[in-house]
Chains A and B, each alone.
Chain A
Amino acid sequence: MFESRTGILLIAGLGFFALAFLSNGLVPILMYRDMPEQTAEEVVNRNLLIQFDDLRSRYPEGFAKLVRRLGHDPEAAPTPETDRKLAAETLRYARALYIGEGCWHCHSQFVRPVSNESRRWGPVAKSREYQNELQRPVLFGTRRVGPDLSREGGRRSNDWHAVHFFKPTSLVEESVMPEYPWFFDGDPNHPNERGIALITYMQWLGSWLPHYFNNYVDPRLAEAQP
């Protein structure tokens, strides 16, 4: 059996692979079967819509480009329903850009229960946060050259993100993040459809948490206080 063709093909090749898949792959699938996958529309929330509105008023040209890119009429008057739909489509589009640019290879999206991570980033990651179509495939990531982003939303303003995407070192001198001038029409005040989408995505990450908008204390500020 141990040196025969059938033993190798059936036991080692198929059998052991199947055993590993059933125990390590199927078990979590079954464990989460009562936690259905949410759509992008379902994960759009009030916190995100406030940021989305801010982006519209701050960068009208770029926002119009984004609306056109998503196949809608930028002249149409926004309603809560169209905004929600537009924000969901923006998140889908932004997620593809985020993966296409390889952002997630330097920025993880989960907070571990060790190494003081919950003090630095916020609450420890929970399965429910990942049961949505924007986490399929899941973007846990395996490396942090830059900060974890799963609690990034609300920490920084939209214009901060715009300037940072355009030239990171202009805000963080030590930053090794690449520049992304192709998210802009020439200067940091004019993010294009890609820029607006990615800023929306940044502001979405963690927007489902109750303490959005004040979940970050800059350690430099904390140190300055008595």
Chain B
Amino acid sequence: MSSGAAPAGPLARRLVDEPLVLAYFIAALIYFAIALLAGLLMALQLVQANPLAGLELFSPGRWRMVHTNGAAYGFIANAFLGALHWAVPRLMLRPVLSRNLSWFIFVAWQGVVVATVIGILAGQAQGVEWGETPTWIDPLALAGLALVAINFIPPIVSKAGALYVSAWYFLAAFVWTFLTYAMGNFLPQYFIPGTGGGAIAGLFIHDLVGLFVTPLGWGLMYYFVPIILRRPMWSHALSLVGFWGLAFFYPLTGIHHFLYTPIPMFLQYGAVVSTIAVEFVVLTVIINFLGTVWDRPWIAWQSLPLRWFFTGIINYGVTCAQCALQTTLTFQQLIHFSDWVVGHAHLVMLGVFGFWLLGIMTYLIPRLVRRDWYSRQLNEWHYGLSVAGMTLMFFDLLFAGIAQGISWGSLQIWEDSLAISLPFWWVRVLAGLLIIAGQICFFVNVYLTLRSRTAQTEELVAQA
């Protein structure tokens, strides 16, 4: 990244389809809002305060799946695609394969996500965790992922010379995402029953995080952090270790989701060892990013996008340290099946990747609409409330999980585990409301910023 600051010159504008980036971000935020409301509904159900109880279309069981799938395929996937449409052409100095294909993918992907939500609400969910997309949509989603790869890979492979770190992650991620989706949605559904299918479902759950979300996330961090800092990454060698370590160890970890199932123990041991290895790899990546700002750490706080990024990076360190512990068979006895894991999942999906993508939006939206944020104060509230809510939820669910595990292991009657969970679940509702309040600040700010653009554009049109 010798160029440092990305010029918003004519070349960059020709390369990037800016309305498409904005369209992806807006779609992502709409699904994010739906996923947040779905989460709130489930949280209220857990404290016996569901205002929509007894209504089939608002069944918390179905909305739980809308919550996870909406977050993964609606919010995170859309936001990633938007960010990639900005980062890849600028990094490679080449446009994507076809602008028409880009828009076709955009429309098709929204169709896939909307059909997924409607299918799940109609009770057609598939029995694959994080892949509840009804079976008839799976081939369409897979074709969409293939088109994404076809659209983004040409600008990366056609450029002569060395490839920057981000491009390694992107290139691998396009291959992995397609393979992961194909493996997880078809093999356990049509071909492999029982325990063998469970092993593959475990690979799917983890590869979705490890081989789709993680490489795209880190690839974008390797792009945006040096750009905003106007300085290169601290160590290229650590970048290499991080990428190849992730590529080797991450795919081997999936079975850790099903420890103590009938899956053969030697495979479970292998998954545990690989998972601990991943944590060491991740540590090298985190050190690399912290090293980049080590001499001037306050910069990471002063710039709001960087603050989001480094908050996410620290959260990533926390989740990985947590993961190295919870994956061990000793910890599993206590915390498996409990809210501990739910807290872990929220910290990864929202506290890391969600925060990074919100930081990217905070950085890019003013550049896309060529106007400053309507209110910087609302963005500060967005950050503050999100971090407060996320931190509260994480620690709340962590302790809830320990309490639940102790209750179960000591053979208390089942209802005891519900009684001790209730205060934790109320705190979780509060934490969720804080997160939602933060996002409302952001949504309002985005709306007002967009609206002011329209007014400005109309003025310009009137002047012309």
Contact with A along B62-80 (1 / 0, CB 8 A): 1011000000000000000
The answer to whether A28 and B271 touch (CB under 8 A), given A5-B157, A178-B45, A219-B413, is no
Q: Is the CB of B197 within 8 A of A138?
A: yes
Q: Does B176 contact A (CB under 8 A)?
A: yes
Question: Which residues of A in the span 120-171 have a Cβ within 8 Å of any Cβ on B?
Answer: 120, 125-127, 129-133, 135-140, 142-147, 169
Q: Which residues of B contact A224 (CB under 8 A)?
A: none
Q: Is the CB of A112 within 8 A of B336?
A: yes
Q: Does A76 contact B (CB under 8 A)?
A: no
Picked from A32, A112, A116, A120, the residue with its CB within 8 Å of the CB of B194 is A32
The answer to whether A142 and B196 touch (CB under 8 A), given A114-B333, A115-B409, A137-B127, is no
Give CA–CA (A180, B56) in the complex, Å. 8
Which candidate, A50-58, A60-68, A80-88, A96-104, is the interface stretch facing chain B? A96-104
The answer to whether A21 and B197 touch (CB under 8 A), given A28-B264, A100-B62, A125-B262, is no
Q: Which residues of B contact A181 (CB under 8 A)?
A: 54
Q: Does A225 contact B (CB under 8 A)?
A: no
Q: Is the CB of B337 within 8 A of A20?
A: no
Q: Is the CB of A23 within 8 A of B270?
A: yes
Which candidate, A8-16, A185-193, A195-203, A205-213, is the interface stretch facing chain B? A8-16
Q: Is the CB of A28 within 8 A of B201?
A: no
Q: Which residues of A contact B244 (CB under 8 A)?
A: 2, 12
Contact with A along B421-447 (1 / 0, CB 8 A): 010010000000000000000000000
Q: Is the CB of B123 within 8 A of A97?
A: yes
Picked from A27, A117, A129, A145, the residue with its CB within 8 Å of the CB of B267 is A27
Q: Does A75 contact B (CB under 8 A)?
A: no
Q: Is the CB of B183 within 8 A of A21?
A: yes
Picked from A13, A29, A32, the residue with its CB within 8 Å of the CB of B175 is A13
Number of A-B contacts (CB under 8 A): 230
What is the size, in residues, of chain A's interface with B at 8 Å between Cβ atoms? 77
The answer to whether A182 and B56 touch (CB under 8 A), given A8-B168, A100-B124, is yes
Give CA–CA (A170, B299) in the complex, Å. 57
Q: Which residues of B contact A130 (CB under 8 A)?
A: 193-195, 198, 262
Q: Does B179 contact A (CB under 8 A)?
A: yes
Q: Which residues of B contact A106 (CB under 8 A)?
A: 61
The answer to whether A137 and B188 touch (CB under 8 A), given A101-B123, A102-B125, A130-B198, is yes
In the complex, how many angstroms separate the beta carbon of A18 from the nearest chain B beta carbon? 9
Q: Does B314 contact A (CB under 8 A)?
A: no
Q: Is the CB of A137 within 8 A of B261?
A: no
Contact with A along B315-353 (1 / 0, CB 8 A): 000000000000000001110111001100000000000
The answer to whether A28 and B251 touch (CB under 8 A), given A21-B203, A136-B197, A175-B418, is no
Q: Does A77 contact B (CB under 8 A)?
A: no
Closest residue to B332 on the A side, CB-wise? A114
In the complex, how many angstroms separate the beta carbon of B41 from the nearest chain A beta carbon? 10
Question: Which residues of B in the span 162-177 have a Cβ within 8 Å of any Cβ on A?
Answer: 162-163, 168, 171-172, 175-176
Q: Does B302 contact A (CB under 8 A)?
A: no
Q: Which residues of A contact B60 (CB under 8 A)?
A: 102, 178
Contact with A along B286-319 (1 / 0, CB 8 A): 0000000000000000000000000000000000
Q: Does A70 contact B (CB under 8 A)?
A: no
Give CA–CA (A20, B126) in the complex, Å. 24
Q: Does A69 contact B (CB under 8 A)?
A: no
Q: Which residues of B contact A92 (CB under 8 A)?
A: none
Q: Is the CB of B194 within 8 A of A99?
A: no
- Chain A to chain B: the 5 pairs with minimum beta-carbon distance, closest first: A102-B61, A130-B194, A20-B251, A13-B175, A100-B123
Binding site for B on A (CB under 8 A): 2-5, 8-9, 11-14, 16-17, 19-21, 23-25, 27-29, 31-32, 37, 97, 99-106, 108, 110, 112-117, 119-120, 125-127, 129-133, 135-140, 142-147, 169, 172-176, 178-182, 218-220
Binding site for A on B (CB under 8 A): 45-48, 50, 53-54, 56, 59-62, 64-65, 123-129, 156-157, 162-163, 168, 171-172, 175-176, 179-180, 183, 187-190, 192-203, 211, 240, 243-244, 247-248, 251-252, 254-255, 257-258, 260-264, 267, 270-271, 332-334, 336-338, 341-342, 405, 408-415, 418-419, 422, 425
Identify 14 new A-B residue pairs, CB closer than 8 A, beyond the known A13-B176, A24-B251. A3-B162, A17-B251, A23-B267, A24-B203, A32-B194, A102-B59, A104-B127, A105-B61, A112-B336, A125-B261, A133-B193, A142-B258, A142-B341, A220-B413
Q: Mind listing 12 A-B residue pairs with CB under 8 Å? A: A3-B163, A17-B211, A21-B203, A29-B192, A99-B127, A112-B333, A136-B194, A136-B197, A142-B258, A144-B338, A176-B45, A218-B413
